[in-house]
Amino acid sequence: MKVYLAGKLRTESEREQLEEIDKLCKSLNLTTFLPHRDVGLAKSIKDVEKTFKGDIIEGFKEVNLVIALLDGLHVGAGTAWELGYAYSKGIPAIGLKTDESAEDALEYLSAILIGSMPIVSSTKELKDKIKEILKIT
């Protein structure tokens, strides 16, 4: 089964958080798509076409689940787009927000995002929710 990992990618810390989720998924024997690892970062406008094709056209092929890192004061534009795309394709998603509750983040996290997927607050909860959604024992 394949999991698409979505989240902000600009800082090393953001990428490291996604890599920790990648390790958790691999411990469950899941294949992952991690945009910065599998396609690279868009460093200029010249990279946009390659990034879109790699992240979305190729990255979403045969995806069974999207996990989105939602920490911080806002969700990245790409992350929000990926979540909407997954929803439109009928691909389930899980949000991970470790820095505060979804209820406390309602004002800027968006009722739309909160209403579209379960949001967990720890990697332990994330692991349990992955198993539940993908029916892994």
pLDDT in tens, 22-33: 999 999 999 999
Which residue is listed with tokens 């534009």?
A: 77
Give every CB contact of residue 112 below 8 A, 6+ residues apart in sequence.
none
User: Does the domain formed by 2-134 have CATH 3.40.50.450?
Assistant: yes
What are the domain boundaries of the chain?
A: 2-134
Using DSSP, state whether 94 is helix, strand or coil.
strand
Q: What predicted TM-score, i.e. pTM, was given to this entire model?
A: 0.94
pLDDT, residue 107, reads 79
Would you say 4 and 66 are in contact if contact means Cβ atoms under 8 Å apart?
yes
Q: What per-residue confidence (pLDDT) applies to 35?
A: 94
CA-based R_g, the chain, Å: 14
> Distance between CA atoms of 12 and 84, rounded to whole angstroms?
25
Buried b (16+ CB within 10 A) or exposed e, 105-135: beeebbeebbebbbbbeeeeebbebbeebee
Q: Write down the pLDDT at residue 59.
A: 94
Tell me the per-residue pLDDT of 36-90, one tens digit each, with 9 for 90 and over.
Answer: 999 998 889 999 999 999 999 999 999 999 999 999 888 999 999 999 999 999 9
Rounded to 10°, the helix 123-134/12-27 angle is 50
